[in-house]
Structure 1
Amino acid sequence: MAFRKRNIALSRPGEDVQSSASPSSSVSPILQAPPGVRPSPVDGRPTTSTGTPSLDAILAGHAGLPLGNSLIIGESGTTDYAGALLRFYAAEGVVQGHRVHVVGMGEVWGRELPGLVEGKDGRREGKERAEKMKIAWRYEGLGQFESARGSPASNRPQADGGGAEESAVFCHTFDLAKRLTLPVGTAVNYIPIPRTSQPSPFPPILQNIQQQLASSPPNTIHRLVIPSLLSPALYPPSTSQPTSILQFLHALRALLRQYPTRLTAMTTLPLTLYPRSTGLVRWMEILSDGVLELSPFPYDHMQSLSTSGAATQAEERPQGMLAVHKLPVFHEKGGGGGGEDLGEDLAFTLSRRKFVVAKFSLPPVEGDREAQEEAAHGHGGSMPSKKELEF
């Protein structure tokens, strides 16, 4: 039986083996992913971060938003938690050097993007991420939900450290109390809503986005941000007609499929004005790849949670519920997960530096809490002592 050394490259018939193994031989170059893009751990599709690690963790196991897909986030009430998600999404694109398109908002909205966390706190978080990834990087890289409360696997630094660590950051940490300093000539495209006599203002918006995609280099990543879609404060009344909004979403979906490795979109929708029970909103959700719903708690309910022990001292009080109605599915195996087990048991918390999606658990009953406190103080007699637990 003939054997071949492992360190000698295979050659075609009639080709010299030594010449094929020489360093000067022609080797196909390895395509490098653009900044802020990495392959999905599920099927290798290119993904980008939404700027919110816990949101990346629940997107069908892809640990990010796959390119060529869209998310629509509905919110009920008068709060603007969904707007914070949009700002994180846009700020992440600016930091990564992506081309960000904002519909219906001016430069004032762009100047309110959250700034990066710097200093000792940022370095401390980087060390915590490094230590965490040394322990279980394979599990967290799959975008499991348990990584939502901690540092995401998407922030795994390189082993070399230094500049390689900074260049490999997939999702940055932002501070809502700070403002992002936009670099000179930053790639933020503010698309106004045309006030014309046309029945729909969406065709000029789509034309603007398509021109930007066609004129940019092929490795440029684009992010489309649409705040408060169909809001009467921004859009004329005619846009709420199905012939207007559904055609726009259908054309946007076709544009995402035309540029499957360059474009993503995130939209917010006021559910108080357009509830999910209407046929128009259901069709809008069908034309979107992912659908999330934010239901903030009333003020009195949040006050009761603050006194009922719904969270420990290390955890922050939840501010509302998050429902996952639809997630992107990419192949016959169903992607990395579905929305069946990610329903009404998810809660969200917006703090100064992060938007966290975590599992929601009801607070303990008052009697049980008193019993636990009594046992913890040694009055119950059922809790073993520290000496008894030592081996």
Structure 2
Amino acid sequence: MSSFKRKSAKHSGTLPGTRPSPGSVATLLTSTGIPSLDDVLGGGLPLSCSLLVAAPDPHSSYGELVQKYFIVQGLVSSQDVLLIDDNPLDFVKGCMWTTSDLNCKVFGEEEEERSDERIKIAWRYESMKQFQTTVGQSIANTENFCRAFDLTSRIPDSVIQRALYSKQLEVCDVTSFQSTALVLSEVVSRIEQILASRSKTTPLRICLPALGSPGWGDSSSEDLLHFLRRTRMLVRRHTNACLSISLPPHLSVEDWSGRGWIEKIGWSTDALITLAAFTANPSMTSLFPSHHGLVHIHTLPAPFTFLPPSDKFSLLRGLSAAADSSGSGENNLAFKCTRKRFIIETMHLDLEGGISERRTNPSSTAREFTGTKLIETSGERAGVPKAGLANVEVELEEEKVRAEQSTNPTAPVSGKGSTQGQAMTETGVPSRRKVNKPKKKVGFQTDRPDVYDF
């Protein structure tokens, strides 16, 4: 019997709600609550790293929605949660909760429920995999890493009270501090105290839904950058903690504090993602009706590595597939918020011409003339009764002149052509003269160059 034993790493007790990173076994990942966002980050948010979400649209609150997913995922995964906000209890009460069926299969189940009939095109294509624009959730559920949440359901009050009583959920109201000028310093001190008092065997999620909002007092750009750097260094020293922050709309624009503001906050955090909604841009809404905004990736977490693991393991970004097949590069990402969930997917164009096919119908008064015969075609096709149309007879002037000359060559020609088209000679014989027709004039309008006046 052989004494050979396969060399393998020692399996230590993993923290609840975490899994090893595919790029480095020494890095543990925790879920943000959104499987597609986990895929963009490289499998999840690494512990000892910080995530910053910017949402520049003032008419929506997608940044706060991401933080709600972050909070409820921690409560479901038996992790500790620290919420810092100007009204933290109301924010928790507005969070979503898990679905009735915890084994939710895929994210596209809403589309499957709409169509009960199965569309068949050809038998040879039945075994092919359907086209998917986002990642599924069945794999995540089997590992109890990321749960399925329903936006139509709210977190029960009993769950909140139980979490507050057991200290699993701890809230910090920034309006309770005495000095509004030192709110950021007080928050950093509060985070240090909680990190020192918590157990190292339980992950701690630190959530700031609206950093720099009016409830935080007046803060300059230097104060915010210094706060982001200090909190990132605090999380780096504790391998069981992670940080998620969202900026209000007025702080998420590029020119809030001069040029390069987004780049500065990207350098102060481990990951920075912008959710640019289409709410204030009707042209983008009409161009991409199936999406609610674009996803801009500025920085991604890369603990213990030079390159982010997302470059190799993210399916939505498509960099690994592009490198293997010599592709064109990274995919464009967009997000949409359906009735039940928030999804990040690859951006794609809809059907050509939009959701409705463009048709050009012929005019109802169009007719075809052949000599003196009248042919009505479009009126009958449009359903207009034949008796309702006026009978119009058209005769050409040249044919009338030739008919009169053939019957009586010496007789003058009556009509418009007798005065303009002919003149009498001294012998009484009509003579033809070439009539100079007036030149057609075309007038152009300066304000509307596409309209011509003849």
TM score, norm. by length of structure 1: 0.70
CA contact (8 A) 2:103 2:141 kept: no
2:298 corresponds in structure 1 to 325
- Does 2:150 match 1:175? yes
What secondary structure is seen at the aligned counterpart in 1 of 2:3? Answer: coil
CA contact (8 A) 1:147 1:153 kept: no
Task: Report the aligned-residue RMSD.
Answer: 3.4
2:82 corresponds in structure 1 to 101
Q: Deviations over 1:69-104 (max 9, x none)?
A: 111111112210111111001000011111111112
2:309 corresponds in structure 1 to 335
Q: Distance in 1 between matches of 2:24 and 2:295?
A: 26
- Whose radius of gyration is greater, 1 or 2? 2
Q: Distance in 2 between matches of 1:368 and 1:353?
A: 23
Q: Distance in 2 between matches of 1:67 and 1:188?
A: 18
Q: Distance in 1 between matches of 2:104 and 2:216?
A: 44
- Does 2:136 match 1:151? yes
- Does 2:275 match 1:301? no
- Does 2:269 match 1:282? no
Q: Distance in 2 between matches of 1:51 and 1:333?
A: 24
Q: CA deviation at 1:273?
A: 4.3
Distance change in 2, residues 1:204/1:154 (3 Å): farther
2:236 corresponds in structure 1 to 257
What secondary structure is seen at the aligned counterpart in 1 of 2:36? Answer: helix
Distance change in 2, residues 1:343/1:77 (3 Å): farther
CA contact (8 A) 2:56 2:252 kept: no
User: Quick one: which amino acid aligns to residue 3 of structure 2?
Assistant: R
Q: Distance in 2 between matches of 1:40 and 1:116?
A: 25
Distance change in 2, residues 1:178/1:220 (3 Å): same
Q: CA deviation at 1:52?
A: 0.3
TM score, norm. by length of structure 2: 0.61
Distance change in 2, residues 1:274/1:74 (3 Å): closer
CA contact (8 A) 1:148 1:356 kept: no
Q: Distance in 1 between matches of 2:228 and 2:295?
A: 23
What secondary structure is seen at the aligned counterpart in 1 of 2:82? Answer: strand
Q: CA deviation at 1:284?
A: 2.1
- Counterparts in 2 of 1:331-370, with a 5 A limit? 331-337=305-311, 345-366=332-353
Q: Distance in 2 between matches of 1:325 and 1:95?
A: 30
Distance change in 2, residues 1:263/1:299 (3 Å): same
Name the stretch that deviates more: 147-156 or 92-101: 147-156
1:64 corresponds in structure 2 to 44
What secondary structure is seen at the aligned counterpart in 2 of 1:337? Answer: helix
2:433 corresponds in structure 1 to none
Q: CA deviation at 1:206?
A: 1.6
- Does 2:218 match 1:269? no
What secondary structure is seen at the aligned counterpart in 2 of 1:348? Answer: strand
In structure 1, the gaps of 5 or more residues are 11-27, 130-145, 158-167, 312-316, 372-391
Q: Distance in 2 between matches of 1:229 and 1:9?
A: 50
Q: Distance in 1 between matches of 2:20 and 2:293?
A: 32
Distance change in 2, residues 1:370/1:290 (3 Å): same
Q: Deviations over 1:294-329 (max 9, x none)?
A: 111137738964xx7x57xxxxx2111111111112
2:435 corresponds in structure 1 to none
What secondary structure is seen at the aligned counterpart in 1 of 2:276? Answer: strand
Q: Distance in 2 between matches of 1:286 and 1:190?
A: 28
Q: Distance in 1 between matches of 2:6 and 2:300?
A: 44
- Does 2:55 match 1:75? yes
Q: Which has the higher contact order (CA 8 A, sep 6+)?
A: 1
Q: CA deviation at 1:124?
A: 5.3
Q: Distance in 2 between matches of 1:180 and 1:368?
A: 37
Q: How many residues matched? A: 310
Q: Deviations over 1:104-129 (max 9, x none)?
A: 2321111222111114xx44528x99
Name the stretch that deviates more: 283-292 or 183-192: 183-192
In structure 2, the gaps of 5 or more residues are 110-130, 320-328, 359-454
What secondary structure is seen at the aligned counterpart in 1 of 2:152? Answer: coil
Distance change in 2, residues 1:211/1:200 (3 Å): same
Q: Distance in 1 between matches of 2:308 and 2:280?
A: 39
Distance change in 2, residues 1:254/1:8 (3 Å): closer
Q: Distance in 1 between matches of 2:40 and 2:99?
A: 24
User: Quick one: which amino acid aligns to residue 249 of structure 1?
Assistant: L
What secondary structure is seen at the aligned counterpart in 2 of 1:189? Answer: strand
Distance change in 2, residues 1:321/1:96 (3 Å): same
- Does 2:193 match 1:211? yes
Q: CA deviation at 1:364?
A: 3.7
Percentage identity across paired residues of the two chains: 23
Q: CA deviation at 1:6?
A: 2.5
Q: Distance in 2 between matches of 1:97 and 1:9?
A: 34
